A = this chain, B = another copy of it.
Amino acid sequence: MSEWVTAFAPASIGNVAVGFDMLGLALEGAGDRVQARRTDGDGVTIAEVRGLDGEVHPYLSTDPKANTASIAAQALWDAQGGTRGVELKVHKGVPLQSGMGSSAASAVAAVVATNALLDEPLGPAQLLAYGLIGEQFASGGLHADNVAPSLFGGLVLCPQVLLPDVVRVPVPDGVSAVLVHPDLQVNTAHARKALAGGYSMSDWLAQQGLLAGFLVACAEGDVDLIGKTLKDVVIEPQRKASVPCFDAVKGAALKSGALGCSLSGSGPSLFALCSESRARNVASAMEQACRSQGIACESWVSTLSAPGARVEADG
């Protein structure tokens, strides 16, 4: 059997308030690692899934048909004519159902590690489709707003209408992302079903205008305009009720100078964008507000240009 190859894929902030299903931001400092090696077996198998504490993961299955990592890796392996088997070890660094792109990080790390085992590895742009297959298993939909930033890093525009193309969005200097993860779980697939249909034209035009303004603000480095546009007027009002500390945490973020604050993906995590110099304060204020509601939490502070997934040396 061959040597283990290790790949890391970062967590990510889906939607980024303005871009439901089409905008995502890689998060520095949190992510999943997947190790892969060739075996003499048949197809992709999972040797183990471990959590942050190094223990066997209490919830995730090693059944290769029931894990995003193996499903994504198998799709790549089949499509690229990989022979014999691949064995994976999945090390979860991203909390499950946290709104931090946990399933995407596993799928992307598995694809990147497995890709390195191929005789002729694909480039990152070609890997997106396989990451999405894993993500689709987890969330039930074809949306790339976690897979794409986890794979490519930074802020990525990835509307379904443009797939497989995705667009890296320029980001301004001096702006950070803060993510606070309250110790609650929200199931993405359920959260998606809970969204009411029949949006009015004016709702959509408002949200579309905010997204448009936000993207130009990022491209132009207009921090004031980021503050005016980083708002979700369509999805957040429907979803925030599932996160009991939402109003307190968002209020604390804005009060401590954040440019904007909303749910990360379908929550329960919240993210804020703010000036780099305020990021630690914003994170503390958000954590404190969360704990004041009796909910434990942890936080991350990230650049807006966090690197995407990569093979690590000496896996």
Contacts and interface: CB of A to CB of B under 8 A. Distances in A.
A274 interface: no
A219 interface: yes
Contact of A208 (B211, B220, B225): B211
B162 A209 contact: yes
Interface string A163-175: 0010101100000
A309 interface: no
Interface in A184-211: 195, 197-201, 204-211
Contacts of A157: 209, 212-213, 216
A179 B102 CA distance: 48
Nearest to A195: B201
Interface string A202-244: 0011111111110111011010010011000100000000000
Given A162-B209, A201-B199, A228-B165, A170 B22 contact: no
Interface residues of A, number: 40
Given A215-B215, A220-B170, A161 B22 contact: no
A205 B167 contact: no
Interface string A46-58: 0000000000000
A32 B178 CA distance: 50
A167 B22 contact: no
A212 B19 contact: yes
A160 interface: yes
Interface string A281-304: 000000000000000000000000
B160 A205 contact: yes
B162 A205 contact: no
A152 interface: no
A159 B212 contact: yes
Q: Which of A165, A204, A206 has the most CB of B within 10 A?
A: A204
B228 A162 contact: yes
A21 interface: yes
Interface string A105-148: 00000000000000000000000000000000000000000000
28 contacts: A19-B212, A20-B205, A21-B205, A22-B208, A22-B209, A157-B209, A157-B212, A157-B213, A157-B216, A159-B205, A159-B208, A159-B212, A161-B206, A162-B213, A167-B213, A167-B217, A167-B225, A169-B216, A170-B216, A170-B219, A197-B200, A198-B198, A199-B204, A211-B212, A212-B212, A215-B219, A216-B219, A219-B219
User: 4 shortest A-B CB distances, which residue pairs?
Assistant: A159-B209, A219-B219, A161-B206, A161-B209
